Homo-oligomer: A and B are copies of this chain.
Amino acid sequence: MNEFEIIERYLTLDSRKRKDVIKGVGDDCALLKVPRGQRLAVSMDTLIGDVHFMSDANATDIAHKAVAVNLSDLAAAGAEPAWITLALSLPEFNQQWLEDFSRGLKRITEYFGVQIVGGDTTRGPLSITIQAHGFVPENVFHKRSTANPGDLICVTGELGDAALGLLVAKNELQVTPSTASELLKKYQTPYPRIAAGIALRGRATAVIDISDGLLADVNHISQQSEVGALLRYERIPFSKAALEVKDDELRRRAALTGGDDYELVFTVNEDELDAAQNALETVGTQCIPIGRLTGKPGVRMLHHKQEIELEQLGYTHF
């Protein structure tokens, strides 16, 4: 089976035909139509086997996650997803693996209404590079650099599950089967907060998706907006599954520096909090204040008024 046949059979996914795709997979270029009055938002991420995911993981989950992490960047930009391009490098042709991968692609692209419009398939070390393309109306782009001291810092959901799920996957954390299953699901098949990102258009002063870990991602906002951040540990939301992990220190580390949660962390002027909460409620998402921006540079965290030494969590200010 050559490159063209692999693309045709496993990556073209005929099911989805968007009207804004004039020419999709199969020619030198895809030809696409961006709606009038909309800007194009694009994000590109590479996932490498045994660096970003375990090469022997289920290929359906690998496909899901590769698309999800890119859509999550669109969520942070408040963009409505439209198209995906996919460069797949494979060490060998493996029909079962490609079928599983194709199933994962189909599921998540249909869920979010996006179409695969192009890409490349090559023989080489296992690696997936995806570019996601979405639309944002003129003048409502979320940036990381427009937050102000005094703004509240909020998250859209529970933190730490993905990092704990990774430990379960690596057999480094013992929990009950149902807890294991919950945590694994969050790690393997995250659903990015697309609807929440759109709901926050014009309301949030900065938005970022939690990929590197809460502290690192809040630090991105803090650096780019030239503000500081004071977080309150007791307000960090945990899932029931995470609370069943007995090691408090491990759970804390997972939530603060673990990453891979793909919730949004955003800042909002205190006067806008109710509006943001209402907007998020209409899309079934929580809005949980966990701290406040300050004028003093850097990220700090209190736990019942006691400062937590963040370096002990493996967090380095960079």
Contacts and interface: CB of A to CB of B under 8 A. Distances in A.
A242 interface: no
Contact of A29 (B32, B74, B127): B74
Interface residues of A, number: 55
A40 B42 contact: no
Contact of A122 (B28, B39, B46, B87): B46
B85 A31 contact: no
A129 B120 contact: yes
A141 B36 contact: no
Main secondary structure of the interface of A (DSSP, over half): strand
23 contacts: A27-B144, A28-B77, A28-B209, A29-B41, A29-B76, A29-B77, A29-B79, A31-B41, A34-B40, A36-B36, A40-B40, A42-B85, A42-B117, A44-B85, A44-B120, A46-B122, A48-B122, A48-B123, A52-B122, A87-B87, A120-B129, A125-B127, A129-B129
Interface in A126-157: 127, 129, 131, 133-134, 136, 141, 143-144
A33 interface: yes
Contacts of A118: 42-44
